[in-house]
Homo-oligomer: A and B are copies of this chain.
Amino acid sequence: MSFLIDGLQYANWSEKIFRQMRAGGVDAVHVTITYHETFRETVLIIEKWNRWFEQHPDVIFQGRTAADVQLARDTGRTAIFFGSQNPSCIEDDIGLVEVMHTLGLRFMQLTYNNQSLLASGCYEDEDTGLTRMGRQVVAEMNRVGLVVDMSHSGERSTFEAIEHSTRPITISHANPASWHAARRNKSDALLRALGKSGGFLGLSAYPHHLKDGGGCTLQSWCEMAALAVDLMGSQNVGIGTDLCQDQPDSIVEWMRVGRWTKAIDYGEGSADNAGFPAMPDWFHDNRDLAAIRAGLRAVGLDEATANGIMGDNWLAFFDKSFGAQDVSKKIRNAAE
């Protein structure tokens, strides 16, 4: 049996959801903890997570290394890995990259839809690629072991991140645009380049990224997974559901609008479909994850490939991504 890892969730966390993770046998989840929040606001959110870890040590704990996924399996719990969908948490301060990594951040998107200090988002009219600070921050993220995530970035910025980063990057939650054309889905050319660089794609189950939206069948989704394997290589694809369970619609508005506009922005939605979209009927919560395996086999993927997508590939990616590159930590790790 492979590991079971979801590479992106942003739920309205509760004990109910943590117990659903256990009921679903989920070994690890990359959770979004912050979008547009400042450093101090992000620390407040980490404090909230610390309380959850303290209150529910029987079901969840904070993951920091790939070995924590095995520990989760061994102790019957789910390892929670922190991620940020925007670089707001590092403000204009490159020193916060290492500080956030020390606090457990393992993924950071360089942009969320808009231009950031680091790169261009996928909703900007012009994508100008990595900024001066963006190149410096990518190098620093490489050094400390914080994964560059380009899910919400523009295509040029993403190509430049692949090129500039000395370690593999990820698109943690998106799908091939050749399966379903959407602003957030990615071109075949980009996915091929990502796979070639050792980078990683987490396949989304968020309706706006799906052919037929919430009506997308498991079979269609798994055919898309097979397409992604063709584009990327069988080791470079996993799951990144983008599950936003139990969130009120005010949250999707915060995700889209933050504090950058006084107007409204619908992102992937629209005025008459402004809230969170209804999920496909085969995926409502963490208890539904394991059943994807049979769907992958049913579309003809072999067992090793299916196991890879279900979690083994993410685990290998975690293993090569979360450790530091700098000399002192190398000395330290060697002696440990």
8 A Cβ contacts from A25-75 to B: 39-40, 43-44, 46-48, 50-51, 53-54, 57-58, 61, 71, 74-75
Question: How many angstroms between the C-alpha atoms of A335 and B74 in the bound complex?
Answer: 8
The complex is assembled from copies of this chain, and their number is 2
Which chain A residues (77-125) contact chain B, with CB distance < 8 Å?
77, 93, 95-96, 98-99, 102-104
A1 interfacial contact with B, CB 8 Å? no
Which of chain A's residues 129-170 have a Cβ closer than 8 Å to chain B? Answer: none
**At the interface, yes or no: A331 with Cβ under 8 Å from chain B?**
yes
A328 and B71 contacting across the interface, CB-CB below 8 Å: no
Indicate if the CB atoms of B95 and A99 lie closer than 8 Å.
no
State how many angstroms separate the Cβ of A261 from the closest Cβ of chain B.
26
- A: residues with CB less than 8 A from B are 39-40, 43-44, 46-48, 50-51, 53-54, 57-58, 61, 71, 74-75, 77, 93, 95-96, 98-99, 102-104, 326-328, 331-332, 335-336
Knowing A54-B326, A326-B54, A326-B57 touch, does A43 contact B99 (C-beta < 8 A)? yes
Q: In the complex the two chains form, is A47's CB within 8 Å of B93's CB?
A: yes
Nearest 3 CB-CB pairings of A with B: A47-B95, A57-B328, A57-B327
Residues of B within 8 A of A103 (CB): 99, 102-103
- CA of A43 to CA of B54 in the docked complex: distance in angstroms? 24
